[in-house]
Amino acid sequence: MENYNRPREACGVFGVYGVNEEQAAIITHFGLFALQHRGQESAGIVVNSNGRLHGHTGMGLAGEVFTPKILKNLKGTSAIGHVRYSTTGSSNAKNAQPILVSYARGQLAIGHNGNLVNARALREELEASGSIFQTTTDSETIIHLLARPCYGNFSDVISKTLRRLRGAFSLTMLTPEALIGARDPQGFRPLSIAKLGDGYVLASETCAFDLVGAEFIREVEPGEIVIINEKGINSYFFRKNRKKALCIFEYIYFSRPDSKIDGKTCHVVRCDLGRQLAVEHPVEADIVISVPDSGNSAALGFSQQSGIPFEFGFIRNHYVGRTFISPTQDERDMKVKVKLNVLPDVVRGKRVVIIDDSIIRGTTTLSRIVELKKAGAKEVHVRISCPPTKNPCFYGVDFPSHDRLIAANHSIEEIVKFINADSLGYLSMEGMLKACGGKNFCMACYDGNYPVPFEEAVEKDALEK
Ligand code: SF4
């Protein structure tokens, strides 16, 4: 069984339309590199080659799945790509995306980021009326709904389908005629559009645009469908005026620091989270260190606000594969050491503030503090750049169930004792909102207010993790 010491994102999506025939797969491959942090279990690309869709998917990182030979065979002027971490459906090659199908209207490929909370009910309904599912993903449900006999043009079919979905979905779809992007009415997961020469690009995060040289145009709005074809961009809304609920954890942890969401660069927001944390939980200390890489920006902000020098206390090994299964506590401890190595010369004899973006079960934090103290740190003060994580996520982030989230069942004092810290401070809800600038967020993992009701079945799945 996997461990849940770090939260993980469900997926990243990418799409390109209207480029040179040799280029669509290569551009998409670069896009997937930029989005790799959102999912490392599988990767896939589907291209449109002269009106015929074909693709390649496989288990592993984008750089492992696509050899130069495979990319050479993926010629096309438009493409979609996907990197996956499984939160619903098991981790196997069959569940890799994009999913490509042929049906009554022709060919269709789809890539999905997010979790549908009514997927089980929809699947039961579809199976009862004859649908045969090929995968165990919630994403396949969307394909089956799109393939239902339904009058009207394809735009109407997409609208009708998306209106039936509940939960989080940022989608890219490819047909022989068009590249399509869509975002759920709450806008849980990000999705943006950019211009690339005479063509267009869609991506989960704007950092992918920088890599491929595309120019950001705007975000796909919550509830919006964007159809890109030879006529340009056509956009309409399948649902409007729902309360927006962007996942605030995109700012805190998931999105790359160089990505922009709602006009704000994640690095800048994280620095502000760190500054606010220093205001709320000041401490006498000699150095501020981060849990790299995700804690770097907040640690910098904490240092700037507090005047305590920022130092590198840990060096991260970037080459540890995600397939490193660690079923026992000993192996998990070893994994922590393999990933992060403490610098004794930096921390020896020092009062250390360590900045992180979450404490999930507490075991990883404990291991880090043990390492710091073994290396000679005099005191270790833990500061977390968000409030305590008390609830699971049903919208595409792999938090464990309540009983395994340390903050759901223990007081701050108990957590301090468990992780062997000298003090612990979490950022307040108000402080987090101030730094993230706004109020239209999903914050359910902190406050338990779920913006979209979820099926009991989904909750049961989460509890069984
Ligand atoms: Fe994001 Fe937490 Fe909401 Fe999940 S529950 S979408 S992780 S804010």
**What pLDDT score does 398 carry?**
79
CA of 428 to the centre of ligand 1 (A): 16
Report whether 189 contacts 250 (CB < 8 A). yes
Pocket test for ligand 1, best of 8, 87, 183, 249 (most atoms within 8 A of CB): 249
Report whether 87 contacts 398 (CB < 8 A). yes
Tell me the sheet residues that pair with 13.
82
Domain ranges of the chain: 12-244, 260-464
329-339 helix and 363-374 helix, angle to the nearest 10 degrees: 60
**What pLDDT score does 320 carry?**
67
Q: Give me the sign of the Cα torsion angle 76, 112, 162, 217.
A: negative
Give the residues surrounding ligand 1 with Cβ less than 6 Å away.
188, 247-249, 393, 395, 397, 442-445
Residue of the CA atom closest to atom 2 of ligand 1: 445
CA of 49 to the centre of ligand 1 (A): 38
Residue of the CA atom closest to atom 4 of ligand 1: 393
CA of 465 to the centre of ligand 1 (A): 17
CA atoms within 13 A on the CB side of 236: 9
**Which is the catalytic residue, given 11, 386, 393, 436?**
11
pLDDT at 460 over 60: no
**What pLDDT score does 322 carry?**
46
Three-state secondary structure call for residue 94: helix
Tell me the sheet residues that pair with 196.
199
Range with the poorest average pLDDT among 37-41, 284-288, 402-406, 456-460:
456-460
Three-state secondary structure call for residue 125: helix
Torsion angle, alpha carbons of 427, 205, 168, 222, to 10: 100
**What pTM did the predictor assign?**
0.92
Give the 3-state secondary structure of 328-393. Answer: CHHHHHHHHHHHEEECHHHHCCCEEEEEECCCCCCHHHHHHHHHHHHCCCCEEEEEECCCCCCCCC
Q: Return all residues near 259 (Cβ < 8 A) that are at least 6 apart.
A: 190, 205, 206, 207, 265, 266
Return the ligand 1 atom nearest residue 394 CA. Answer: 4
pLDDT at 1 over 50: no
CA of 393 to the centre of ligand 1 (A): 5
**What pLDDT score does 452 carry?**
92
Pocket test for ligand 1, best of 390, 397, 429 (most atoms within 8 A of CB): 397
The CATH-assigned architecture of domain 260-464 is 3-Layer(aba) Sandwich (3.40)
Query: What's at 217, amino acid-wise?
Result: I
Q: Is 12-244 a domain of CATH 3.60.20.10? A: yes
What would the pLDDT profile of 305-320 be if each residue is shown by its tens digit?
999 999 999 998 877 6
Q: Return all residues near 221 (Cβ < 8 A) that are at least 6 apart.
A: 183, 187, 237
Residue of the CA atom closest to atom 6 of ligand 1: 247
Return the ligand 1 atom nearest residue 389 CA. Answer: 2
- Rounded Cα distance between 97 and 84, Å, is 7
CA atoms within 13 A on the CB side of 76: 33
What would the pLDDT profile of 54-79 be if each residue is shown by its tens digit?
999 999 999 999 999 999 999 999 99
Return the ligand 1 atom nearest residue 248 CA. Answer: 8
CA of 336 to the centre of ligand 1 (A): 25
- Which helix (H) or strand (E) segment is 304 a member of? helix 296-306
CA of 245 to the centre of ligand 1 (A): 9
CA of 319 to the centre of ligand 1 (A): 28
Return the ligand 1 atom nearest residue 247 CA. Answer: 1
Q: Quick check: is 445 catalytic?
A: no
pLDDT at 88 over 70: no
Q: In this structure, what DSSP letter does residue 251 have? A: I
Three-state secondary structure call for residue 127: helix
Range with the poorest average pLDDT among 20-24, 351-355, 428-432, 458-462:
458-462
pLDDT at 462 over 50: no
pLDDT at 44 over 50: yes
Range with the poorest average pLDDT among 82-91, 152-161, 169-178, 437-446:
82-91
- Rounded Cα distance between 98 and 173, Å, is 9
Report whether 45 contacts 96 (CB < 8 A). no
Pocket test for ligand 1, best of 38, 170, 393 (most atoms within 8 A of CB): 393
Report whether 179 contacts 228 (CB < 8 A). yes
Token code pair at residue 312: 């590198």
Token code pair at residue 73: 């065979």
Three-state secondary structure call for residue 79: strand
What value does the mean pLDDT of the chain take?
A: 90
Return the ligand 1 atom nearest residue 392 CA. Answer: 5
Identical fold for domains 12-244 and 260-464, yes or no, is no
pLDDT at 465 over 50: no
Confidence of residue 94 (pLDDT cuts 50, 70, 90): confident
